[in-house]
Structure 1
């Protein structure tokens, strides 16, 4: 029996209980979790903003140690320390093959709809985002684990699996921030903090952080923000004032609200780039006039998983960690046990803190 936080129904509170986790089958790997980050996407899965079969074990940002492997697995072995990849690419579909865009793999989420374990009562249990990291152990496909980069602490490495890959990729792959460009980051949660650090790594300046909470200023500045603004109706005007009257070269939205996306767009200079990282509900709308699209010549771009190829980008992030350019621990504002996840969800809804990290006793 493995302890896990189980979502019995959409909108229901998580239940800390035992689950029956099978041994890995052909092509599968069993991993003992060291840590799992609590991401806003987990909250979106629990409340129905994102689809998820239930009952389910959520959690997709994790790292741990391989316990056992199934038949035919040759890419990893028991004892290996790994980072979970919640969107593993198939390598063969239209997006992976012809387009070389593995972050858009049409089969990446296939595991979400396949039961991977059973509840104590014998009911089929589904893995949140194919990963199910809110449990002491999980079973995933072999291609959903990546080697832990040398020199990266296993517990902090959980953050690499989503927040850091997403924030780093938003800056370096989607927005393609260049040295000396101004960047405005909207939302100073876990992904926002990773985005600020990545903008600093890219040599951006000024780097402007925007959040609804004044309490986030210290976190934002420690991550690389040169300026901090409280979100308001005048945010776009304030950003233009900080950028010579032009607006930011790049705006990165990490919230997922129509209103915030609109402000990010309005904060971007003519010819600038607005990248949307936040996951919003379908009811969140953005209105743009045909005239402003023509006149401002801005680019508005969605960003999935930072447009990253985790196998390629994880070693790069490991190098940044080893050289002290990327501080994973600075993203974490609370280390909790499994039973602390509901409170972490509440904190996200209230706009408090950065990343909450579930730390398991191994």
Structure 2
């Protein structure tokens, strides 16, 4: 593959800072789009010049989760990602004879990559820049998928998005596309809250405000139908849970530290008929959902281009991660 663009995501940052332990040395970058340069002898459905979006969770199509239509939970795919190898178990990256591990089967922070067919979706999208296409590999799948697939938001319902990074704002776009009439956005950054209002949020709250939970519950009639946490922090998950109404659903797609724990009073689950769910890769089936989300983008119903903070060159990657770590960027994309 020739990589056309690759996004900088907190999941990359969590490998850098050690929150997601991975074997090293490793070439990072899991949100990418590119063009086929050469295919292996067994590949019949791709040819040089085809455009593809990479997906950070490869799916074999054969294991039980895949057979159930839950490609995000593919067992061999998860095992390969944990080991830093391709689906075949092979490593195709080397530095002076030494093996270099793959990140989520993609390793998109490079001009070229060898990628398993299980980690990509062919797209008919010659009219869309790679800088936009790359976002569909992670931010859009995870955020929009959490709203449309995991929550199954219905028109007229209320949704809260807690954490307004690239994935969180993508989830907000998903709530707009789903027809939610009350869209609550919560973050610690007033700038991101302003951006959320531009994208369709009907109410915005700074999470640091005293009494913010009581205020949200009061102003939404007892809480929202669905609260989606995308900050990757337990305090954000706790806030999301507390602003969910009785009978409502709290979903987390944020990746907190492996040592973090979330505690809730057990009686609430029963007495309030509450649902708490995880969402990995937006519960997406990439072959189904990536083309679907691209069609929504083309129709003007999912303006993911508004998530872009800017584009970078590869030699600016450290500056980009510093901005991401400081919370100064939504989605930065390296273009080649």
**TM tier, shorter chain?**
over 0.9
Matches within 5 A, 1:98-177: 99-109=68-78, 110=80, 112-113=84-85, 114-119=90-95, 121-150=96-125, 151-177=127-153
* Aligned partners of 1:57 and 1:127 also within 8 Å: yes
The answer to whether structure 1 residue 74 and structure 2 residue 74 are counterparts is no
Structure 2, unaligned runs of 5 or more: none
Distance 1:36 1:222 in 2: 25
Which of 211, 216, 220 matches 2:187?
211
Shift of 1:279: 0.3
Q: How many equivalent residue pairs?
A: 327
* Aligned partners of 2:69 and 2:285 also within 8 Å: no
SS of residue paired to 1:358: strand
Distance 2:16 2:239 in 1: 27
Shift of 1:215: 1.2
Shift of 1:138: 0.4
TM (normalized to structure 1)?
0.87
Deviation digits for residues 117-143 of structure 1 (CA, Å, limit 9, x no counterpart): 111x32111111111001011000123
Deviation digits for residues 174-208 of structure 1 (CA, Å, limit 9, x no counterpart): 11111111111011110011000000000102111
> Hey, what does 1:356 align to over in structure 2?
332
Distance 2:140 2:120 in 1: 16
Distance 1:234 1:182 in 2: 21
* Aligned partners of 1:235 and 1:267 also within 8 Å: no
Which of 3, 10, 26 matches 1:56?
26
Distance 1:344 1:180 in 2: 38
Distance 2:172 2:31 in 1: 19
SS of residue paired to 2:145: helix
Deviation digits for residues 123-174 of structure 1 (CA, Å, limit 9, x no counterpart): 1111111110010110001232211243433321000001001111100111
Shift of 1:214: 0.8
Which of 299, 308, 311 matches 2:284?
308
SS of residue paired to 1:225: coil
